[in-house]
Structure 1
Amino acid sequence: MGKAEQQEQLDRIVRRFADVAPPNWARLVGNWEAYRGPTGELTLNYLTLAVVDGGDRWLYGQVGYDEPLYDLVAELNRMAAADVPDHAWTVLDLEVDQDHTFRVEFGYDPPKRARGIHDEESMGRFETYLDRWVAEHGPRPPAR
C-alpha cells in the first residue's frame, strides 16, 4: 500500500471519529496501541476522548466504542505492515479539531498500556489533558 492510500485511510478515520463524537466537541484525542497476539491476530488497545463545549465549562471524557472506527484504524495498521512487514506502527496518536484539521504521530516502540505500563506517555498525558486544554483555552468556552 502506498502513502496516498494510507493518507486516504487516515482521512476516513478522521471523518468517522468526527461522526461518532459527542455534540459540541472541540477536539478529539485518539491513541491506539497495536500489537499481535500469539496467533498473529491484530489487537488495538485504544483511548478515544473528546474535549466538549459544556456551555459554562469545558468537559472531557471517553468517546464510546465504535466498531467501524476500530476497523478503520486496524486497516491502517495492516496497510502500513504491507509496506514494511517488520516495522508497522505500534502507536497511533491522533488529535482532530472541530474544523477537521488533524495532527497524527506514529510510534514504533513496544506499546505500553497493552503491557500494563501506565506512565505519563501511556496514560498520564490523557488524564491531565483537560488541565492543559483549560490552561491554553481558558476555563470557559467562547460564547456561542
Structure 2
Amino acid sequence: MGLAEQQEQLGVVVRRFAEIAPQGWARLVGSWEATPDGSGGVTLNWITTAVVHGGDRWLYGQVGYDEPLYDAVVALNELSAEGGPEHRWTTFELLVDPDGTIKVDFGYDAPKRSQGILDEQSHGRFERYLDTWVAEHGAVPASPAPGA
C-alpha cells in the first residue's frame, strides 16, 4: 500500500466526519492521538469538534463518538505504518470546511493527551477554539431570509 491508498483513506475519514457533523457546521476540528496497544493494533485518544452556525451566534462543541469514524482513523494509522514503524503517525490533526477545504497535519512525537499532559497544544487550544474562530471570522453571518 502506498500514498494513494493513504489519500483514499483520508478521504474516507473526511467524508465520515462530515456525515456525522451537526447541520449548519462551518468547520470540523479533529485531533487524534494513536498509541500502539501491544497486540499490533492502536488505541486512539480523540477530540472531534465542530463550529456551527447557530442562527444569531457561533456554537462550538464535541461531535459525538462514532465507531465508523474511529475505525477509519485506525485504518489510516495502520496504512501509515506499512512503510515501517518510523512512518506511523502518533498525532493527526484535521480541519474540514464545508467547501471541501481540508488541512492535515501528522506528527511523530509521543502523544501528550494520552499520557495526561493537557497543555496548550494537546488540549487548551480546543477549549478556546470558539474564541479563536470568532476572532478570525467575526460575528455569525445573517441567515438568508426564507425564500431568498
Q: TM-score, normalised to structure 2's length?
A: 0.93
For residues 1-28 of structure 1, the C-alpha deviation after alignment (integer angstroms, 9 at most, x for no partner) is 2101100110111111000000100000
SS in structure 1 at match of 2:82:
helix
Q: Distance in 1 between matches of 2:79 and 2:20?
A: 23
Counterpart CA distance in 2 for 1:39 and 1:8 is 26
What corresponds to 1:4 in structure 2? 4
Change beyond 3 A, Cα 1:25–1:85:
same
RMSD, matched Cα = 1.1
SS state of the match for residue 55, structure 2? coil
Q: Residue by residue, what CA displacement relative to the aligned partner does 1:37-79 show, whole Å, maximum 9, x if unpaired?
A: 2444310000000000000000000001100000000000000
Structure (1 or 2) with the larger CA radius of gyration: 2
Aligned match of 1:54:
54
Q: Deviations over 1:90-134 (max 9, x none)?
A: 000000001121000000000000000000000011111100100
Residue 5 to residue 45, structure 1, CA distance change in 2 (3 Å): same
Query: Match of 1:30?
Result: 30
Distance in 2 separating the partners of 1:26 and 1:92 = 20
Q: In structure 1, what is the Cα distance between the partners aligned to 2:49 and 2:11? A: 18
CA distance in 2, matches of 1:91, 1:36: 12
Paired position in structure 2 for 1:85:
85
CA contact under 8 A between 1:33 and 1:111: conserved in structure 2?
Answer: yes
In 2, Cα distance between equivalents of 1:104 and 1:142? 30
Query: Could you tell me whether the CA contact under 8 Å between 2:56 and 2:142 is conserved in 1?
Result: no
Are the equivalent residues in 2 in contact too, given 1:58–1:134 (CA < 8 A)? yes
**Secondary structure of residue in 1 paired with 2:59:** strand
Of the structure 1 ranges 60-69 and 32-41, higher mean CA displacement relative to structure 2 is found in 32-41
| Distance in 1, Cα, partners of 2:29 & 2:126 | 9
Aligned length: 144
Structure 2 distance, partners of 1:97, 1:120, is 23
Percent identity for Structure 1 against Structure 2? 63
Unmatched 5+ residue regions in structure 2?
Answer: none
Give the residue type in structure 2 aligned to 1:111: P
Q: Are 1:104 and 2:104 counterparts?
A: yes
Q: How does 1:117-132 map to 2 (within 5 A)?
A: 117-132=117-132
Task: List alignment gaps of at least 5 residues for structure 1.
Answer: none
What letter corresponds to residue 123 of structure 1 in structure 2? H
